[in-house]
Amino acid sequence: MRLLPLPLALTARLSPVAVLATAGWALSSGPLAPAPAAGHEPAPDRTATQSATAPSTTQVSKSYATAPAPCTALTEKTITSLVPGAKKAGKEIPSTDVKLRRTCSWNALKGYDYRWLDVSFEIMDSGAAAQKSYQGRTAEKSGGGAVPGLGDEAYSVVNLTTEDKQQTREGEVIARADNALVVVTYNGSDFETKKAPSTDEINKGAIKAAKEAMAALKGGQAG
């Protein structure tokens, strides 16, 4: 539908209103507006000032920046007790990024008794990321229980496996402190009797190593 032009009478009535509105703008805030009097500066834009000075909330704080040396995390006494006959220095496992993950391993066969111990440190971007990893790992390992007094949270589980009539009992402790995880794996076998060490022996050994490893982690805390 074609728009019809306004009647001349209505156009004549609206024109003065438009002229007055334009004039009002020019006098109040346009080019003809008077300059502010001395001592009466325009109020600053508080929104812009607050935006410029407001602290950023995107920065993520974390307690640990790098993984400590795992092969010096345990005392010689503990290594001798848990892995008789093992070299005290242990062997560090190659890692793609030693700042984020480091693992040391000790193993030895003394007589017919075999023991293996691994200690790992894993550093994550935030406490939330470490907690998510901790929850995922512990959910996969049923039959264990919480370890009180170890980091922010800790879990221990022991399992028995049999292969060619040879038993092996393995314990694992997963502990979290803010954005870091400490993971200890400890297992053993007796090749003479074909039996495995008791659940209590393996569980206590893994927890002892985890507590010392946690102390080593906190000793190198970045703050």
- Residue 25 three-state SS: helix
> Does this model's pTM top 0.95?
no
What are the structure tokens assigned to 97, written together?
């990024």
Distance, CA of 171 to CA of 23 (rounded, Å): 87
pLDDT the model gives residue 62: 83
pLDDT the model gives residue 7: 43
pLDDT the model gives residue 13: 39
pLDDT the model gives residue 221: 53
Model pLDDT for residues 14-45, shown as the tens digit of each residue: 444 443 344 444 444 454 455 555 555 555 55
Low-confidence spans in the chain with pLDDT less than 50: 1-29, 31-32, 47-57, 222-223
Bridge partners, 158 (sequence order): 171
- In the sheet where 91-93 sits, what is the strand order? 91-93, 101-110, 113-123, 180-190, 166-177, 153-163, 145-146
- Residue 183 three-state SS: strand
Model pLDDT for residues 105-129, shown as the tens digit of each residue: 999 999 999 999 999 999 999 999 9
Angle, alpha carbons 88-89-90 (nearest 5°): 95
Distance, CA of 182 to CA of 119 (rounded, Å): 7
Q: Which residues of 156-181 are buried (b: 16+ CB within 10 A; e: fewer)?
A: bbbbeeeeeeebbbbbbbbbbbbbbb
pLDDT the model gives residue 60: 61
Distance, CA of 148 to CA of 116 (rounded, Å): 25
Contact 177, 170 (CB under 8 A): no
pLDDT the model gives residue 135: 97
pLDDT the model gives residue 163: 96
